[in-house]
Amino acid sequence: MRILDFKVPNFKFPKLKMEGISEIDEESMKEEPKKKDIKYEAKNYKTIKEIFNKVTGEFKDRPFMLEKFDHKEPFTEISYEKYRRDVIGLGTGLIKLLNLKDKRVVIIGENTYGWYVSYMAMLCGVGIAVPVDKELPANEIENVVKRSKASAVIYSAKKKEVIKKIKDNLPEVEYFIGMYSDDAINEKEVGLNYIIEQGNRIVESGDNSFMDIEIDEEEFKVLIFTSGTTSKAKGVMINNKNLAQNVNVVSAYVYLDENDRFFSVLPLHHTYESSIGFLLPMSVGASIAICEGLKHIVPNLQETKPTVMLAVPLLVENLYKKINANIVKSKKDKLVKSMIYLTNALKGVNINVKRKVFKEIYDNLGGNIRIIVSAAAPIDAKVGKWVQDIGISFLQGYGLTETAPIAALTPEFDPRVGSAGKAVTCAELKINNPNESGEGEVFISSDTLMIGYYEDENATNEVVHVIDGKRWFNSGDVGYLDEDGFLFITGRSKNVIVTQNGKNIYPEEIELLLGNVEEIKECMVYGKEEEGSKELLLSVKVIPDYEKIDEKHGKDLKEEDIHKIIWEEIKKVNKKLTSYKAIKNLEIKKDEFEKTTTMKIKRFAEIAKDKK
């Protein structure tokens, strides 16, 4: 996904008073159980349909989803009972009315109730779901529809104009289905609500054939095209077992129940959100609150009061920066530091008063947040530690689209800030050909591992290797395992910069250090090719934090002054690095980085621009 114009929202929080300190009383000083003594039992679902059947019956009166269909109105609450009825109606209609059994159906649009219903109908027996990035340009959407051999496209109202542009180029598509539309079939056009209504009439007449469909857990059910941070997008083939195992293994590491509420801010076409942000909360009867958009994160958090938020490092880091900037502005930074020290000491003897002490921070995030999960890229350990210090469980997940996506996760009862997690219960991790420091490429063997790449056996064989009878996936990431089996990612093998004397430099390691420089908003370290030289010049492209520069160094500075300020900070970072890892060249970037859905910089695209 290209997020060329992505800008981190300007989170606004009121001044802190730290009144929570006065609320500490004898009752709040009681001991709590040691988390390391707690063990959770993994679930054992085989298919997503099995989960759907169980939870929609058991929790029918509870809320499944909260969505704001009109910004001026409150969130609409949708029950599990309505969700069940709509999924069964849609599945029945797609098969009986449109004859789409066992066919491929593209789903494209923003996070909205219609997306959830469409995806679940496919998983419960219609055919193969093809979730597509809503930010793709029209020609790439057309290409994905063709590559996937889709027979239908389900799209949101916001994608109507794009679909109109390309539909004449897609003669093989039998139906274009508009979400929230009541339109009856008109040639190839039809409304999703109409299909649901007609499907429910068929069910009411006694036809239960859709729910009677038996699901083969090994059958190809989802086709997801990767974001292509290092190469062109590949189609990843996923089955029901891959998805169900995500639910099973997370339940062994994190306690969730029907009282939890997930906050959905990441795009659903990505496996991280669709598996862990949708299928997982659904599996326990929890609810999902859909964020209206990045600029609405804080008010939406305060209105929906979620308990769990899935995020990417960029989002967590910016929440951290904004909250701490506000703490400093409120002149409460010394008090907060001392209270972190005190509450950590109390927690060491199993007395947890953090929720009361840091109540104002919690209230800014809705008041109920208890877990923040960061995945998709490395995060500065100090940010994760701060989240833990104020009493929120900070978990890190690790995986790829090819592992649907979870391969490792930090357990709630034993978090290791800085680690990417421990192999989940259905997976094994190993370091292939480790060097003297124990670092090497991360290999994954897991029940969540994809069937393979769509129509690309050669690409599959390049990354999936059978060793001692097990399928092992070469993640392309570089890292090491500690003595307890926790994974630490140090870089990505495809991003590695190799010096002339054979030294390996992983850009991510340097970027994490540069992330501590207040004057730097974003950066990308890479090896710059120089004419007449075989050695790559270790360079960094930087987007300055102009707001912070104005605040610290004065306004209306010239470009060369800004360059000098940032270069002086980079020199300080260089002193913390071995000489061959030192940055030699700084480039100030005037436009935004090209990014994937999960806000990772598309390095290959940025380097290609540099070569041009």
Q: What is the CATH number of the domain that holds 185?
A: 3.40.50.980
User: 410 and 331, same structural domain?
Assistant: yes
Residue 270 within a domain: no
| 560 and 465 in a common domain | no
Of 210, 230, 250, the position where a domain reaches its end is 210
Has residue 262 been placed in a domain?
A: no
pLDDT recorded at residue 349: 87
Mean pLDDT, residues 111-121 taken together: 98
Paired strand residues for 464: 473
Question: What's the pLDDT at 494?
Answer: 78
**Same domain, yes or no: 317 and 442:** yes
Contact 444, 407 (CB under 8 A): yes
Domain harbouring 520, CATH code: 3.30.300.30
pLDDT in tens, 120-141: 999 999 999 999 999 888 988 9
Q: How far is CA 187 from CA 94, 129, 402, 607, in A?
A: 15, 23, 37, 46
What pLDDT, in 10s, does the model give residues 174-196?
Answer: 999 999 999 999 999 999 999 99
Say if residue 101 is in the same domain as residue 182: yes
Residue 455 inside a domain? The answer is yes
Residue-number span of the structural domain to which 123 is assigned: 61-210
Could you give the number of structural domains in the chain?
3
Confidence label for 4 from pLDDT (cuts 50, 70 and 90): very low
Please indicate, yes or no, whether residues 464 and 574 belong to a single structural domain of this protein: no
Lowest-confidence region among 50-54, 85-89, 236-240, 534-538: 534-538
Domain shared by 521 and 599, yes or no: yes
Residues 525 and 601 placed together within one structural domain of the fold: yes
pLDDT at 19: 65
* Rounded alpha-carbon distances, angstroms, from residue 33 to 37, 369, 370, 417, 464: 8, 20, 17, 21, 43
Q: Is the residue at 477 inside a domain?
A: yes
Residues 29 and 103 in one domain: no
303 and 191 belong to one structural domain: no
In a domain, 103, yes or no: yes
**What are the backbone angles phi and psi of residue 317, rounded to the nearest 5°?**
-60, -40
Which of 491, 522, 537 terminates a domain? The answer is 491
- Among 472, 491, 510, the domain-final residue is 491
The model's confidence at residue 116, banded by pLDDT at 50, 70 and 90, is very high
- 492 versus 327: the higher-pLDDT residue is 327
User: In the prediction, which pLDDT does 531 show?
Assistant: 80
What 3-state class would DSSP assign to 604? helix
470 and 398 together in one domain: yes
Rounded to an integer, the average pLDDT of 557-570 is 96
Strands 152-155 and 470-481, by their bridges, are unpaired
Q: Are residues 588 and 487 in the same domain?
A: no
Distance CA 8, CA 11 (A): 9
Q: Comparing 121-125, 267-271, 277-281, 310-314, which segment has the lowest mean pLDDT?
A: 310-314
CA dihedral 132, 134, 139, 141 (to 10 degrees): 20
- With respect to residue 256, please indicate whether it lies within any of the assigned structural domains: no
Residue 440 maps to a domain: yes
pLDDT, mean over the chain: 91
Choice between 229 and 377, residue whose per-residue pLDDT is larger? 377
**Residue 26 scores a pLDDT above 80:** no
Place of tokens 């009862």: 413
What average pLDDT does the segment 430-453 reach? 95
271 within some domain: no
* Alpha carbon separation from 27 to 229, 361, 418 (Å, rounded): 51, 22, 34
Q: At what angle do helices 48-58 and 80-96 cross, to 10 degrees?
A: 140
When pLDDT is cut at 50, 70 and 90, the band that residue 350 belongs to is: confident
CATH number of the domain encompassing residue 446 = 3.40.50.12780
Q: Give the 3-state secondary structure of residue 566.
A: helix
- Give 442's contacts (C-beta < 8 A, 6+ positions apart): 429, 430, 431, 432, 475, 477, 478, 479, 487, 489
Residues 510 and 486 in one domain: no
